[in-house]
Amino acid sequence: MDFKSDMQARIQEIEAALQTYIPKQEAFPPVIFEAMGYSLFAGGKRLRPMMVLAACEAVGGKKEMAMPFACALEMIHTYSLIHDDLPAMDNDDYRRGRLTNHKVFGEGFAILAGDGLLNYAYECILKNALDYGANLEGHILAAREIAQRAGVGGMVAGQSIDLLSEHREPNEATLHYIHMHKTADLLTAPLLAAAYI
């Protein structure tokens, strides 16, 4: 199988898994479910979940064990995009060729959709740790790695410096910091999490 076909097959597998991991509409007020799904299923490269699965396979792990982490990372990435598009942040009208979440559902529900995806990601991670309790320590280390790299020392820190740098002349050190934390931390987390689990 060539690389492009392999990527497409993995994307389809991830899409199918996301459909099973995301909460069903009857479990939530419909608008929250719709707002979460609107952004989560808006397409995209699914790079972070693919990295989890590939890294897990590379070190001899089982794809089934890694899939909840793969889906969780995509939920975290999607939450960050929803919040990043908000008027208080980048104030974007479009994402991936369609209206941003807040343009469709309003700012309040966009914030809640992002919050919902972030928290549900950790629900999936923790449930997986219980399902595969034989390596509970590895699962906890993987969860911590993701939380740290998505949190105030990682992606949130990068976004904070990005906000502080608006309307200022950028310098190399600031730009490097933003790239390392706002972007690279959520690209490093899948590899380390996969190794732990």
Secondary structure of the chain in HEC code, one letter for each residue: CCHHHHHHHHHHHHHHHHHHHCCCHHHCCHHHHHHHHHHHCCCCCCHHHHHHHHHHHHCCCCHHHHHHHHHHHHHHHHHHHHHHCCCCCCCCCEECCEECHHHHHCHHHHHHHHHHHHHHHHHHHHHHHHHCHHHHHHHHHHHHHHHHHHCCCCHHHHHHHHHHCCCCCCCHHHHHHHHHHHHHHHHHHHHHHHHHC
Q: Which two tokens stand for residue 154?
A: 């990682």
pLDDT score at 115? 97
pLDDT score at 25? 67
pLDDT score at 1? 59
For the ranges 2-6, 49-53, 101-105, 155-159, the lowest mean pLDDT is seen at 2-6
Q: 98-146: per-residue pLDDT in tens? A: 999 999 999 999 999 999 999 999 999 999 999 988 999 999 999 999 9
Q: 30-84: per-residue pLDDT in tens? A: 888 899 999 999 988 999 999 999 999 999 998 899 999 999 999 999 999 999 9
pLDDT score at 53? 95
pLDDT score at 52? 96
pLDDT at residue 18 tops 80: yes
4-37 as b/e: b if 16+ CB within 10 A = eeeeeebbebbbebbeebbeeeeebeeebbebbb
pLDDT score at 50? 95
- 54 burial (CB, 10 Å; 0-12 / 13-18 / 19+) is middle
Q: Which residues pair with 94 in a beta bridge?
A: 99
Q: Work out the average pLDDT over 166-184.
A: 92
Q: How far apart are CA 161 and CA 131, in angstroms?
A: 38
The whole-model pTM stands at: 0.94
